[in-house]
Amino acid sequence: MSFREPVSVRKVTTRADFKIFLRFPWYLYKDDPNWVPPLVSSQRAKIDPRKNPTWRHLEGAYFIAWRGDQPVGTIAAFINHRHNAFHEERIGFFGLFEVYNDQEAANALLATAANTVRARGASALRGPATFSTNDEVGMLVEGFDSAPVMVMAYNPPYYARLLDRAPGFDPIMSLYSYRLTLEEWEASSKLRQLLRVTRRNNERHGITVRTFSRRHLRRDLNILKDIYNHSWDNNWGFVPLSEAELGEMVSAIRGCLRPELALIAEVNGETAGFLLAFPDLNQALQRANPHPGKPDVVSRMQMLWHWRLRSKIDRVRIPLMGIRSDFRGIGVEAALFVQMYQDAIRLSQRTGWRYADAGWVLEANAPMQRLVEAYSGPPYKRYLLYERRLEPAAVDLWPDPSSPSVRRRHPLSMRRIPQTSRATITRTLRAAARRVSVLRDSS
């Protein structure tokens, strides 16, 4: 790649652009042993506004940075109307930020994103986020010695330097992931004391914990849906999931759920919270090594082989825990964690699981930090969110997120990408010929 060519940033407007945008990470990370390539079809569905229900309340654009005819970076710039309505903010976001170690290209991409959301009335640009805190969020800044777990961000170490040097950007929030090792847990001198204290607290408050029922899985997944939006409502940056997003999340959970790793807590018979863990499918996905040009069905079969048939997974991912607000502070969180540890230790002899990843936890969530650190230790990965304050645009084009035009609009919809068929070309040429004939006859 030559740095002699000037950098230009162009909006994704054609199918060819979209294809380059989709495939760019495979070129960027081709020599990185820790990067986990996603299934191509899954990544395409994620960034296609027609298929991702989150885009029903987003508007924005995708951009590619070029040096000559060589793509050198990508970025998404968007407004999340549900976020702004929920938090009463005017924030724009950037995500899908991928770039070579090229400060000029990074600055150009970030400036383009800032100008894009500023033109829509945003007072700040925040990110990276794809596309909310319910998905991949943050930039990895510590913990590059291991591959990421499922639904966690990964990037080269130089990204933090690019953001630190980009004009106007400052870190605003840290997120932490914790490594929970079963061997250390079993050897802990605090284990018996913790079990005893938790057992007494459960009896005092009427707390019970059960696993998801295989016979009544739909019922328990509906319980999860009911709790989810109400349990995270006080988290910084949280955006409630729409019904369509909740449906998609539950569908994804169903596909990789191990009911014995899905827990529901009840207080005197009333549902109080949940804790979900999954085998970390990134370990199987990395071995399958999906990439453009490889049939997706082959990647899926290889992933299934390394997951179900000859499992190479020794890591559990704990991505979701939610407690209803009226049951917080009475030990429901501890009851769920203790039960999860006991179940994981029992299952590890059969499954080969050795440790778990618990994350992410906001730096602003001190109670959860203390809870997790009491069972494990300091975090092993840290992520940052950045923000750049923006001057108001000359014309405020901010739309009302409740208006029909906002609810229906898909600014990046593939329907807007030119798709000229042969029949359309033929009709256009015939119409032009008729107009020429008419002009000739009239003259």
* Residue range 144-167, pLDDT digits in tens: 999 999 989 999 999 999 999 999
- Cross-strand partners of 139: 384
pLDDT digits (tens, 9 = 90+) for 266-284: 999 999 999 988 889 999 9
Task: Determine how β-strand 70-80 pairs with β-strand 58-67.
Answer: antiparallel
Report residue 46 as tokens.
């994620």
pLDDT (mean) for 199-213: 92
Model confidence at 430, pLDDT cuts 50, 70, 90, reads low
Q: What was the pLDDT predicted at 405?
A: 39
State the Cα–Cα distance between residues 4 and 1, nearest whole angstrom. Answer: 9
State the Cα–Cα distance between residues 285 and 206, nearest whole angstrom. Answer: 41
Nearest to 97 by CA among 108, 84, 87, 106: 106
The gap from C-alpha 320 to its chain's centroid, in whole angstroms, comes to 13
pLDDT (mean) for 167-183: 90
Q: Is the pTM for the entire model greater than 0.75?
A: yes
State the Cα–Cα distance between residues 362 and 43, nearest whole angstrom. Answer: 26
Domains and CATH numbers, the chain: 7-167+390-416 (3.40.630.30), 180-375 (3.40.630.30)
Inter-residue contact 23 to 292 (CB < 8 Å): yes
Give alpha helix (H) positions in 188-216. Answer: 191-205
State the Cα–Cα distance between residues 44 and 216, nearest whole angstrom. Answer: 33
Q: What was the pLDDT predicted at 103?
A: 97
Which segment, 169-173, 224-228, 230-234, is predicted with the most confidence on average? 169-173
Quick one: the chain helix, strand, coil %, rounded to 5?
A: 45, 25, 30
Report residue 402 as tokens.
């409740």
Q: What was the pLDDT predicted at 255?
A: 74
Model confidence at 113, pLDDT cuts 50, 70, 90, reads very high
DSSP 309: I
